[in-house]
A = this chain, B = another copy of it.
Amino acid sequence: MEELKQKIMAEGTAMTGGIIKVDSFLNHQIDPQLMYRAAQEFIKRFENEDYNKILTIEASGIAPAIMVGFITGKPVVFAKKAIPKTMNDAYVSEIFSFTKKESRTVYVSREFLKKGDRILFIDDFLANGDTAMGISNIIKFAEAELVGMGFIIEKSFQQGAKNLRELGIRVESLAMIESTEGDQFHFRN
């Protein structure tokens, strides 16, 4: 998605440890119009797939996911990183975060993920794929079906996309960063 690459080049920062800072339009400040157009692109890429629900994870996945849900008229569920008092029966998966160097647990209530649900997962970043793998496990626990995973930004210099594709998961990333060099980003086409 050309507009997104331009935005990353103009406003993104490559930090040490492979961290990409895009806080001006995705991870802290959000550009809602860009999220809408990213959603349109996800919908186009997955137009031959049949899905009835969008799944994401709090917090930065919510904006693009909600736009996919808005355009397609489908509900969005966001996986939680802590179990709230209102949730008493959840699918649970342990995830190790590369960025934060810690392990954490994600939760999706059994109320909103059912056997037979056909799920499109949307998130902000694909790095090592740990979160995506945890989500894929949760979908399996629920006997639901994962039709694909869409990411705003893929760090192609990490293993996530490769790992997910080896599991037979369809992955679509709107900007694939192959390498960074100072403030320069090199994208994969």
> Which residue numbers of A lie inside 8 Å of B, CB to CB?
13, 15, 17, 19, 21, 23-24, 27-33, 35-36, 58-59, 62-63, 66-67, 69-70, 73-78, 80, 84-87, 99-100, 109, 111-112
Contacts and interface: CB of A to CB of B under 8 A. Distances in A.
A101 to B, nearest CB: 10
Task: Give the oligomeric copy count.
Answer: 2
A31 B19 CA distance: 32
A155 B76 CA distance: 25
Given A58-B59, A69-B30, A109 B23 contact: yes
A2 B19 CA distance: 45
A111 B62 contact: no
A145 to B, nearest CB: 18
